[in-house]
Chain A
């Protein structure tokens, strides 16, 4: 759905995005991670044809950008750096304006679609108040509604849960996952690891304009072939397990094994007590931080 080759943006001497090769496949919930200032927003703007790339190629829903923007963008819904709305109009009127600007839908279809979408993001379709009186969270929901309005095949969302309370974040997450289950590809850009970890099937990590990691989340946080054991008597446990023990720190042992249940049976059989046992997983956070530091090391 999104593919870039050698995508680069320079502002004078500063290289904001450097040789980016993005690959977002149909059906993905793709997490685009990076610290503030790492080039995420510039990338998103280039994908949508708002910022013109210095070099490189972009393919969006199978069409070259920005050359085919007129045929590509109708299949894309986007939220870029916060919502934008006309403060003197109601939420409804705002959606109608953006919809009318680009498409020739009949009034009846448009009106029904707007009401549905507002309802979907948790806004009251009969609300006539101007957007200027909206809270930050309501504006964010309106921005999402505007992205969802035309039932796009691809959603490009930049920090979609910004300004929402925990309840709202959960609602939006569930909405996005439901849309994904119906076939919408989602490209989610965020600096919030937890958000990405909860939702995404694939992740790309941007560090100072360069992609340092791009992979399926499942394979990144796959079991490591180690078992972590917490026991009140770690020395004894180390004796029982012998050479398979890789590391002992305090009450915790790391054991080379794919079989946590087997290790547990062995320890209990030897008369040990076990507080906690399970396969050792790396968190996405560890993976991302390692990729970023390795990259920084390679650069230095």
Chain B
């Protein structure tokens, strides 16, 4: 079932259209930067964006910073929100269940294909941005070393390691989003509602993060530690934000996947 879900996800045009759209914004940013040579002042705007003008190879990280606040979570919410609700809407859910695929197995297969989608999306964004960065912005330092966020110099090997960890971190952050969307997907019969419900939670979280009065809530909000991957490029690495981010996404994963499972396995399928 998992293999079937994976191949059908990969063969669906929707998957690739979503990923292509995800890549549009970083491409536009890269072109604008290349043409105008106007970066945001250091410390403002999306992370790493001020640095890419001097070193195009940093653009994958800048691109992740660009898509992470909205584009990537929306794409994940759409795909995961459609997982069960989309089958219900098409009338195929009942036929899958009586074929018979166990409800838990179906949910696990859907989760696996969502995880694969998140990984794929993150990787495609990173690779595309690397190419765009090299072609449009050029690489600055022939030695291949890079200046860290803290000002010291990072070797190319260190840089690659940290980038891989950062990609993994962003993927985990998106899995929290996927878990929420998957839960909504078992509640409603409309994939759009499930996706919008998830996006509403993320926007709510972002709004509360900007509000001082919500101080006590902030450590628990789903979007709180998303950008902590920037801390991986400090010297030495500042792990506390990253670890808290992993812990909080882990909690969201357990709670929402548990809720999705509890709801889906005891639910009357009337569609």
Contacts and interface: CB of A to CB of B under 8 A. Distances in A.
A50 B95 contact: no
B161 interface: no
Contacts of B90: 84-87
A101 B1 contact: yes
Contacts of B1: 101
Interface of A: 45, 48-52, 69-70, 73-74, 76, 78, 80-88, 97-103, 146
Given A52-B266, A88-B12, A97-B4, A76 B91 contact: no
Interface stretch (B23-31, B97-105, B241-249): B97-105
B4 A100 contact: yes
B97 A49 contact: yes
B215 interface: no
A101 B92 CA distance: 12
A98 B96 contact: yes
A101 B98 contact: no
Nearest to B4: A100
A101 B99 contact: yes
A86 B92 contact: yes
Contact of B13 (A50, A84, A88): A88
B222 to A, nearest CB: 32
Contact of A97 (B8, B13, B266, B268): B8
Contacts of B143: none
Contacts of A100: 4
Contacts, number: 70
Contact of A50 (B102, B266, B268): B268
B99 A98 contact: yes
B94 A50 contact: yes
Contacts of B62: none
B207 interface: no
B4 to A, nearest CB: 5
B79 to A, nearest CB: 15
Interface in B208-261: none
Nearest to B14: A88
Contacts of B96: 98, 101
Nearest to A78: B98
Contact of B270 (A45, A73, A101): A45
B269 interface: yes
Contact of B98 (A80, A83, A103): A80
B78 interface: no
B91 A73 contact: no
B15 to A, nearest CB: 12
7 contacts: A45-B270, A73-B99, A78-B95, A85-B90, A85-B91, A98-B96, A101-B96
Interface in B92-120: 92-102
Contacts of B269: 45, 50-51
- Which of A78, A82, A102 has its CB near the most chain B CB atoms (within 10 A)? A102
B189 to A, nearest CB: 13
Contacts of B100: 49, 69-70, 73-74, 102
Contacts of B8: 97
Contacts of A81: 91, 94
A84 B93 CA distance: 8
Contacts of A83: 91
Contacts of B13: 88
Nearest to B91: A84
A129 to B, nearest CB: 16
Given A45-B269, A88-B13, A97-B4, A50 B91 contact: no
Contacts of A88: 12-13
A73 B94 contact: no
Interface in B26-80: none
Contacts of A99: 99
Q: Which 4 A-B pairs have the closest CB atoms?
A: A84-B91, A73-B100, A102-B99, A50-B269
B6 to A, nearest CB: 12
